[in-house]
Amino acid sequence: MTVGVEYYVLLSMALFSIGLFGVLTRRNALMFLMSVELMLNAANINLIAFAFYHGNLTGQVFALFAMALAAAEVAVGLGIILVLYRNFRDVDVTVPTTMRW
């Protein structure tokens, strides 16, 4: 019995959609970061499932790189959120509105 690759794609698409929903609805910057992580990991699931499916390792190795980059992105993001809190006393992304068109 094998699990077809389409189920992995469905799983990752569900995860991606959950992440996208979180990005669009959450106002807390930290929840936003977590939602983006969900989206990135959805892509990682895809890469690894397709690597199995195609029988080459490119996708798996790229998933490792993607994880490392996601961690770096989180680090930069948390740093920005820290200075945001220091300036606005809040991590709500709708609070900073000093610039509007």
Partner 1 sequence: MAVFQLAEWTAMAPALILAGTALALFVFDSISPHSTNRSLLAGTAAGGALASLAVAVWFIVAGVGTPTVDGGLGEITVLSDQFVVDQMALYFMIIVAIVTALIVVASYDYLVGHAYQAEYYSLVVLAATGMSMMAAANSLVTIFIALELASLPSYALVAILKDNRGSVEAGLKYFLIGALSSAIFLYGISLVYGATGHLQLDNIAEVIAAGDADPYGGLLGLGILMLIGGFAFKTASVPFHFWAPDAYEGAPAPISGFLSSASKAAGFVILFRVFTEAFPLGDQMNALIGFDWTVAFIILAIVTMTVGNFAAATQNNVKRMLAYSSIGHAGYALIGVAGLSADGGELVMGAAMMHLLVYGFMNTGAFLFVALAEHWGVGRTFEDYNGLSRQAPIACAAMAVFMFSLAGIPPFGGFFSKFFLFMGALEASAANTAMLAVAAALVVNSALSLYYYSRLVKALWIEEPATTRDRLARPTGLYAAIVVAAVMTVLILPGFGPVVDAALDAAVAALG
Partner 2 sequence: MARLRPKNEQSTLICVGYESPNVTEMNDWIAIGMLALVGLSIPLGMMVVSYLIRPSVPETSKRATYESGEIPTGGTRIRFNIQYYMVALLFVVFDIETVLLFPWAVVYQDALASPEYGLLEALGPMLLFVAILMIGLAWAWRTGAVQWAQTRTQAASDTDRQ
CA distance 77 to 32: 10
Residue 17 within binding range of partner 2, rule CB under 8 A: no
* Six-digit token string for 31: 């929840």
Question: Could you tell me how many residues of this chain bind partner 1 (CB under 8 A)?
Answer: 47
CA–CA distance, 37 with 71 (Å, rounded to integer):
9
Q: Is 78 in the site for partner 2 (CB under 8 A)?
A: yes
Residues 71 and 92: their CA atoms lie apart, in Å, by: 22
Please identify which residue in 17, 25, 58, 72 interacts with partner 2, judged by CB under 8 A.
72
End-to-end CA distance of the chain: give it in Å, rounded. Answer: 58
**Could you list the residues that contact partner 1 (CB under 8 A)?**
5, 9, 12, 16, 19, 23, 29, 32-33, 36, 39-40, 42-44, 46-47, 49-50, 53-54, 56, 58-59, 61-62, 65-66, 69, 72-73, 76-77, 79-81, 83-84, 86-88, 93, 96-99, 101
